[in-house]
Amino acid sequence: MADLAQRYAVVTGSNKGIGYETVRQLASNGIMVVLTSRDENRGLEAVEKLKADGLSDKVVFHQLDVADPASVASLADFIRNQFGKLDILVNNAGIGGLILDSDAFTKFTQLAGGGFPLGEDAWSEIAIPTVEGTKECLNINYYGAKRMVDGLLPLLQLSDSAKIVNVSSFLGSLKHIPNEGVREVLNDVESLTEEKVDELLNKFLKDFKEGSLEKEGWPTYISAYILSKACLNAYTRILAKKYPNFKINSVCPGFVKTDLTCNSGQFTAIEGAQNPVRLALLPHVVTGSNKGIGFEIVRQLASNGIKVVLTSRDEKIGLEAVEKLKSDEYGLSSDKIVFHQLDVTDPDSIASLADFIKNQFGKLDILVNNAGIAGVILDADAYTKATKLAGGDFPDGEDYWNEIETPSIEGAKECLNTNYCAAKRMVEEFVPLLRLSDSARIVNVSSLKGLLKYIPNESIRQALDDVESLTEERIDKLSDKYLQDFEEGSLEKEGWSSYLSAYTVSKAILNAYTRILARKYTDFLVNCAGAPVHWSNIMTQTYQLAEECLQTNYYGAKRMAEALIPLLQLSDSTRFVNVSSSMGTLKITVKWSNWPTKVEEEPFRLPVASGDLSDTITTTERSVKRRSSRLSSGSSSTKHRKVLKLVVEVLKNRTVIVRSTPIRCESEKTDTSSRLSMKSYSFGSFDIEKESFRF
Instruction: Tell me, yes or no, whether 599 lies in a domain.
Output: yes
Average pLDDT, the chain: 77
Instruction: Tell me, yes or no, whether 28 lies in a domain.
Output: yes
**What pLDDT does residue 1 have?**
47
Last residue of a domain, one of 229, 245, 278: 278
- Top pLDDT among 437 and 479 is at 479
Q: Do 144 and 259 share a structural domain?
A: yes
Instruction: Tell me, yes or no, whether 522 lies in a domain.
Output: yes
**What pLDDT does residue 30 have?**
85
Q: Do 203 and 309 share a structural domain?
A: no
**What pLDDT does residue 649 have?**
52
β-pairing, 577-580 vs 525-529, is: parallel
State the DSSP H helix or E strand holding residue 527, giving kind and residue range, or none if neither: strand 525-529
Q: Do 419 and 562 share a structural domain?
A: yes
The answer to pTM > 0.75 is: no
Q: Do 339 and 197 share a structural domain?
A: no
Instruction: Tell me, yes or no, whether 104 lies in a domain.
Output: yes
In the residue annotation, 330 being an active-site residue is answered as no
| Calpha distance 617→600 (Å, rounded) | 22
Given the residues 8, 142, 221, 225, select the one marked as catalytic.
225
**What pLDDT does residue 660 have?**
28
Instruction: Tell me, yes or no, whether 2 lies in a domain.
Output: no
Return all residues near 103 (Cβ < 8 A) that are at least 6 apart: none
Q: Do 302 and 270 share a structural domain?
A: no
Give Cα 90 distance to the centre of its chain: 18
Q: Do 632 and 608 share a structural domain?
A: yes
Last residue of a domain, one of 278, 302, 325: 278
**pLDDT one-digit tens code per residue, 213-257:** 989 999 888 889 999 999 999 999 999 888 877 888 888 887 777
Q: Encode burial over 639-651: b for 16+ CB neighbours within 10 A, e otherwise.
A: bbbbbbbbbbbbb
The CA angle 158-282-51, to the nearest 5 degrees, is: 75
Q: Do 306 and 193 share a structural domain?
A: no
- Top pLDDT among 271 and 20 is at 20
Question: For residue 425, what is the domain's CATH number?
Answer: 3.40.50.720
Whether the pLDDT of residue 691 is over 70: the answer is no
Q: Do 430 and 355 share a structural domain?
A: yes
Instruction: Tell me, yes or no, whether 145 lies in a domain.
Output: yes
Percent share of the chain, pLDDT over 90: 27
**pLDDT one-digit tens code per residue, 521-571:** 877 888 877 644 333 333 445 667 778 888 888 898 888 888 888 888 888
**What pLDDT does residue 151 have?**
95
- Top pLDDT among 690 and 336 is at 336
**What pLDDT does residue 689 have?**
34
Q: Count how many domains the chain has.
A: 2
Q: Do 293 and 272 share a structural domain?
A: no
Whether the pLDDT of residue 59 is over 90: the answer is yes
Instruction: Tell me, yes or no, whether 639 lies in a domain.
Output: yes
**What pLDDT does residue 101 have?**
78
Q: Do 332 and 460 share a structural domain?
A: yes
**What pLDDT does residue 63 have?**
96
Last residue of a domain, one of 211, 245, 278: 278
Whether the pLDDT of residue 40 is over 80: the answer is yes
- Top pLDDT among 254 and 598 is at 254
Whether the pLDDT of residue 339 is over 60: the answer is yes
Instruction: Tell me, yes or no, whether 330 lies in a domain.
Output: yes
**What pLDDT does residue 589 have?**
38
Q: Encode burial over 294-314: b for 16+ CB neighbours within 10 A, e otherwise.
A: bbbbbbbbbbbbbbbbbbbbe
Which residues form the domain of 164? Answer: 8-278
Band of pLDDT at residue 616, cut at 50, 70 and 90: very low
Band of pLDDT at residue 146, cut at 50, 70 and 90: very high
Q: Do 267 and 303 share a structural domain?
A: no
**What pLDDT does residue 601 have?**
32
**pLDDT one-digit tens code per residue, 618-648:** 232 333 333 333 333 344 444 445 445 554 5
Q: Do 306 and 261 share a structural domain?
A: no
Return all residues near 368 (Cβ < 8 A) that are at least 6 apart: 284, 285, 286, 287, 289, 294, 297, 442, 443, 445, 577, 579, 647, 651
What values do phi and psi take at 76, rounded to 5?
-60, -40
